[in-house]
Structure 1
Amino acid sequence: MTSAPRPRAAAHAVVSVPGTPRRLPDGEPLPPEDYRRLFGVFEAVDRAPDLAAFRERLLRALEEWFGYSTIAVLHGPTVGDALLDGRGIKSGYSRAFLDEYARRWIGADPFMTGHAHRLLAERGVVTLRELRPESVPEQREYVELFLRPNGIHDKVSMIIDAGAEGCFYVGVVVRGAQVVGARDVAVMRALRRQLAPTAEAVLAADRATAAACRDLGLTAREREVAALAAQGMTNQQIAGRLFIGVGTVKKHLTRALAKTGAASRTQLAVRWRQL
């Protein structure tokens, strides 16, 4: 299929009209440019050869087609597992932001609650405003004292159901604009349905790869680093995606090379495709 021309994503990625984003009524068609965004993202990930490539391509496609710049793509057996200790990649966050979040605010994050997890499981796509953080004192402080000073007024999260294999959690921070646009919410609802079969296949294949990696003695983090290195990413790029230090990347990569018997990144990439 030939890719459609890229629209100007930032032009309609978010709107600044106050209020809660509405869900488009059943049967109401999306504008043609939103279908181009939907198919653009789907085409980007449809032929991803493995989990690492799927995550990276999904993140980049959301950057390109939606104009988002701060994204987390995580996965785990359940929504809660994916959020609390799931594996994945991020972009657009500063180290200082993440350190302060982990030190002070993670317990007040509305998306970390059982209520949010149930809504995500039920609706598939949920915005920060839909969780009404202003009604809970600690959540209101989280928004007013942490998010807003960092230019964050709304956030949208999406769950891609991968059946028995688990799920993907995709969290997108919206900086500057007051509200996530209804059109973005509608496209993401359609997108998660389209991506579900691919997500299930990718996680099933990764489960088999994980078994092979355990036989080689690779830890979960060594496997993540090796998978990204096999894609051709530099140590600096891997550190940015996993939010770990470059020195930590070098340590994990050195161990992965030794355990797989690869003498170079090129050999590692070849052997990785054979797992």
Structure 2
Amino acid sequence: MTEAPTPAQAPRARPVAAAHALVSAPAPPRRLPAGEPLPPEDYRRLFGVLEAVDRAPDLPAFRAGLLDALVEWFGYSTLAVLHGPGTEEALLEGRGVKSGYSRGFLAEYATRWIDSDPYMTPYAHRLLAERGVVTLRDLEPGYGPAQRAYVENFLRPHGIADKAGMIVDAGAEGVVYVGAVVRGAPRVGARDLAVLRALRRHLAPLAAHFLARDREAEAAAGGLGLTAREREVASLAAQGLTNQQIAQRLFVGVATVKKHLTRALAKTGTTSRTHLAARWREATD
């Protein structure tokens, strides 16, 4: 009787030649081209902003996340993030958030200077469409007397030397405008401009997504009879934000938030924030 081979005597499987599994030779990674405009730390800033907004639950959170990320990664303390169907509409009457502006500054701007703002001119809108990111200095060739007075008599006395305006084109859904004021420096830095130009391209699909979702939510909530601002307040209240947090997010006073919230409660037939949140989710989910 033949004995079964012991484990030591058992035949071994023949190794498969590596060439059978791997048919391509390893290649070195691509080298950065000479004169690469962005050093690695600027790419980290770019992705830091994107990471702050790509998982936002809705448009208000996207706007607030973008504003906060620009403060954190670029050091901009005075910002506006607005949106509308086009550049002119976003700048003139767009919904959005602001940070770093005093109420006195905004009141003076609205009552005296808005029509003289260089970014409100057709020249600025055309340049924004062409370049995506435009500074005040870029707009100087299109200045008239009103624009020069605006810069010399309004911005400079408030310590504002330059400003960057960025348009994120969301296609059929509209645009998102970002305005960043530069204080303590004579102009917007070239590296900042390079990062902003790269950033706007990556923000475009996100902006289109959130603007489309907001339009759908607005249509779904149309039966509630709320104004645009009342919808924003109701949405933020449904997320659990306090009146103070909503005021900071929308750059309005707490009294204004209370007014919109009271109207939203009355129009939806609800009597508490919890009841309003449930009604809001029922209408928009």
Give the alignment partner of residue 89 of structure 1, picking from 93, 97, 104: 97
- After superposition, the Cα gap between the structure-2 partners of 1:133 and 1:109, relative to the gap in structure 1 and judged at 3 Å, is farther
Mark the runs of 5 or more structure 1 residues left unpaired by the alignment.
1-24
Give the alignment partner of residue 182 of structure 2, picking from 174, 177, 187: 174
- After superposition, the Cα gap between the structure-2 partners of 1:156 and 1:241, relative to the gap in structure 1 and judged at 3 Å, is same
Question: Larger Rg: 1 or 2?
Answer: 2
Q: Shift of the alpha carbon at 1:230?
A: 2.9
Determine helix, strand or coil for the equivalent of 2:161: strand
Task: Return the letter of the residue paired with 2:54.
Answer: D
Determine helix, strand or coil for the equivalent of 2:176: strand
Determine helix, strand or coil for the equivalent of 2:124: helix
- After superposition, the Cα gap between the structure-2 partners of 1:210 and 1:247, relative to the gap in structure 1 and judged at 3 Å, is same
Give the alignment partner of residue 195 of structure 2, picking from 184, 187, 192: 187
Identity %: 74
Q: Show the counterpart of 1:72.
A: 80
In structure 2, C-alpha distance between the alignment counterparts of 1:268 and 1:168, rounded to whole Å: 29
Task: Return the letter of the residue paired with 1:176.
Answer: G
The aligned runs of 1:157-172 (5 Å cut-off) are 157-172=165-180
In structure 2, C-alpha distance between the alignment counterparts of 1:160 and 1:187, rounded to whole Å: 13
Matched, 1:216 2:230: no
- After superposition, the Cα gap between the structure-2 partners of 1:164 and 1:27, relative to the gap in structure 1 and judged at 3 Å, is farther
Task: Return the letter of the residue paired with 2:45.
Answer: R
Q: Shift of the alpha carbon at 1:271?
A: 4.8
The aligned runs of 1:47-126 (5 Å cut-off) are 47-126=55-134
Task: Return the letter of the residue paired with 2:193.
Answer: V
TM-score (norm 2): 0.82
Tell me if the contact between 2:90 and 2:175 (Cα under 8 Å) persists in the aligned partners: yes
- After superposition, the Cα gap between the structure-2 partners of 1:55 and 1:29, relative to the gap in structure 1 and judged at 3 Å, is same
Does 226-235 or 197-206 show the bigger shift? 226-235
- After superposition, the Cα gap between the structure-2 partners of 1:53 and 1:243, relative to the gap in structure 1 and judged at 3 Å, is closer
In structure 2, C-alpha distance between the alignment counterparts of 1:220 and 1:72, rounded to whole Å: 18
In structure 1, C-alpha distance between the alignment counterparts of 2:249 and 2:239, rounded to whole Å: 13
Q: Show the counterpart of 1:11.
A: none
Matched, 1:247 2:249: no
Does 29-38 or 130-139 show the bigger shift? 130-139
TM-score (norm 1): 0.85
Q: Shift of the alpha carbon at 1:27?
A: 7.2
> Could you say which structure has the greater relative contact order, defined with CA pairs below 8 angstroms and 6 or more residues apart?
1
In structure 2, C-alpha distance between the alignment counterparts of 1:103 and 1:26, rounded to whole Å: 50
The aligned runs of 1:10-21 (5 Å cut-off) are none
Task: Return the letter of the residue paired with 1:52.
Answer: P
Q: Shift of the alpha carbon at 1:44?
A: 0.6
Q: Shift of the alpha carbon at 1:269?
A: 4.1
Mark the runs of 5 or more structure 2 residues left unpaired by the alignment.
1-32
In structure 1, C-alpha distance between the alignment counterparts of 2:199 and 2:223, rounded to whole Å: 36
In structure 2, C-alpha distance between the alignment counterparts of 1:166 and 1:134, rounded to whole Å: 25
